[in-house]
C-alpha cells in the first residue's frame, strides 16, 4: 500500500479533533481577547489579583502533590503485581480497576459518607471515646488530596505496571549473579527500566489533576478552590470572556508544567544511572 493512501486512515480522527478540539480552542482564545473589542484586560485581572494567583498556584501544587503521592504509593504496588505469577497478576489488576467502574462523582460522595460529621470515621472515633465531638475532616485540603489520590491511584498503578511488564525479569537474576544485592538490582536495573513509564504515569496524573472539578467542589472548602472551580464560578456569573481567559491560562500552565516535569525527569534519570560510578 502506498503511503498516500495510508494517510486516509487518520481522516476520521483528524476531522474529530479539528471540529471538537482545535476549533473550540481558537474560539476560546478569541473569546478571551475580544470583549467585544480587542483587549488584554482579562489576563491583566488574572495576574493583578492575588486571589487568582493563589488559585493557580494551589492548582499546580495540589496536582503535583497528588501525582507524587500516587507515584510513591502506586510504584511498589505495580511492582508487587508484576512480580506475581501471571494468573494472579490478572486477578490483582482486576481488583485495581474495579473502582474505575464508578464515576468520580460517586467516589467523591463516598468520601462524604466516610469523613462527614456523622460519617464512619467520626462514629468510630466517638464510639471508642477517642474524641468528644466529631472532628472536622470534610472541607479541608487534606481531604481533597486524599480523595484525589484515591481516584487517580489506579491510573498510576496501571501505567507503571504496563511499563514493568516490558522488563525481562531474567535481567534481575543476571544482576544478582553478577554481584548485586536485592536493592542494588532494584535501583540499577528495575528502576531505570521502569522509569519512563513511571514518569509518564506521573505526568498523566498531574495533567488530569490540573483539571479536577468535582472533588475540590464537594470535599474542599472555600480555601481549596482550583482553577476548574474558578472557571465554573465565572461562567455562573456570565463572565464568559474572563472564564475563557482562565481556561487559556490553565492550558498554558498545564503544558509548561508537563514540559518542566519531563525535563526534570530526564535530568533525574541521568543522575540515577550514575549511581555507583
Partner 1 sequence: MAVAGITFENVTKRYGAVVALDQFNLTVAPGEFMTFLGPSGSGKTTALNILAGFTGITEGDVRIGEKSVVQLPPEQRNVGMVFQSYSLFPHLTVFENVAFPLRLRGERGASLETKVRGALAMVHLEDFGKRMPNELSGGQRQRVAFARAVVFEPPVLLMDEPLGALDLKLREQMQLEIKRYHQQLGCTIIFVTHDQGEALTLSDRVAVMRDGKIAQVDTAQDIYDRPSTRYVAEFIGRTNLFEIEQGQGNGWSIAALGTQMAPLDGHGAAGRTLSVRPEKIRQIGQGDPDASIVFDARVTDVVFQGDHVQYQAVTSGGAPLTFQEHRGHGARLQQAGDALRLGFDVADAVPVQNQ
Residues that bind partner 1 (CB under 8 A): 168, 170-171, 173-182, 184, 188-189, 192-193, 273, 276-277
Cell numbers that stand for 24 in this block: 473550540
We find the least distance from the C-beta atom of residue 277 to partner 1, in angstroms, to be 7
Closer CB to partner 1, 107 or 188, in the complex: 188
Among all chains, which residue has been given the C-alpha cell 471540529? 19
Across 191-221, b (16+ Cβ under 10 Å) vs e yields bebbbebbbbbbbbbbbbbbebebbbbbbbe
Closer CB to partner 1, 45 or 188, in the complex: 188
Omega cis (within 30) before 6 = no
Closer CB to partner 1, 113 or 273, in the complex: 273
Between CA 273 and CA 187 the distance in angstroms is: 9
Between CA 231 and CA 240 the distance in angstroms is: 9
Closer CB to partner 1, 116 or 192, in the complex: 192
DSSP state, 187?
A: I
We find the least distance from the C-beta atom of residue 177 to partner 1, in angstroms, to be 5
We find the least distance from the C-beta atom of residue 216 to partner 1, in angstroms, to be 39
DSSP state, 259?
A: H
Closer CB to partner 1, 123 or 166, in the complex: 166
Closer CB to partner 1, 110 or 193, in the complex: 193
Between CA 39 and CA 21 the distance in angstroms is: 24
We find the least distance from the C-beta atom of residue 183 to partner 1, in angstroms, to be 11
**Is residue 38 helix, strand or coil?**
strand
Cell numbers that stand for 268 in this block: 533525574
We find the least distance from the C-beta atom of residue 198 to partner 1, in angstroms, to be 14
We find the least distance from the C-beta atom of residue 270 to partner 1, in angstroms, to be 11
Between CA 74 and CA 204 the distance in angstroms is: 13
Amino acid at each position: 500500500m502506498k503511503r498516500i493512501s495510508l494517510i486516509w486512515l487518520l481522516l476520521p480522527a483528524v476531522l474529530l479533533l479539528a471540529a471538537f478540539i482545535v476549533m473550540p480552542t481558537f474560539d476560546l482564545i478569541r473569546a478571551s481577547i475580544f470583549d467585544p473589542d480587542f483587549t488584554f484586560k482579562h489576563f491583566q485581572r488574572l495576574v493583578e489579583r492575588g486571589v487568582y494567583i493563589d488559585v493557580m498556584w494551589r492548582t499546580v501544587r495540589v496536582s503535583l502533590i497528588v501525582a507524587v503521592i500516587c507515584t510513591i504509593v502506586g510504584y511498589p504496588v505495580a511492582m508487587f503485581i508484576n512480580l506475581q505469577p501471571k494468573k494472579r497478576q490478572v486477578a490483582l489488576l482486576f481488583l485495581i480497576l474495579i473502582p474505575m467502574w464508578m464515576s468520580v462523582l460517586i467516589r467523591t460522595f463516598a468520601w462524604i459518607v466516610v469523613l462527614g460529621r456523622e460519617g464512619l470515621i467520626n462514629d468510630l472515633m466517638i464510639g471508642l471515646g477517642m474524641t468528644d465531638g466529631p472532628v472536622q475532616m470534610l472541607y479541608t485540603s487534606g481531604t481533597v488530596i486524599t480523595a484525589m489520590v484515591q481516584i487517580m491511584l489506579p491510573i498510576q498503578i496501571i501505567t507503571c505496571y504496563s511499563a514493568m511488564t516490558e522488563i525481562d525479569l531474567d535481567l534481575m537474576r543476571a544482576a544478582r549473579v553478577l554481584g548485586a544485592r536485592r536493592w542494588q538490582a532494584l535501583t540499577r536495573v528495575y528502576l531505570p527500566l521502569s522509569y519512563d513509564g513511571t514518569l509518564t504515569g506521573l505526568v498523566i496524573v498531574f495533567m488530569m489533576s490540573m483539571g479536577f472539578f468535582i472533588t475540590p467542589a464537594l470535599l474542599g472548602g472555600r480555601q481549596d478552590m482550583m482553577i476548574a472551580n474558578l472557571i465554573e464560578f465565572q461562567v455562573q456569573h456570565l463572565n464568559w470572556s474572563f472564564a475563557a481567559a482562565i481556561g487559556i491560562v490553565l492550558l498554558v500552565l498545564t503544558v509548561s508544567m508537563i514540559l518542566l516535569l519531563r525535563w526534570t525527569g530526564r535530568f533525574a534519570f541521568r543522575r540515577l544511572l550514575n549511581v555507583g560510578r
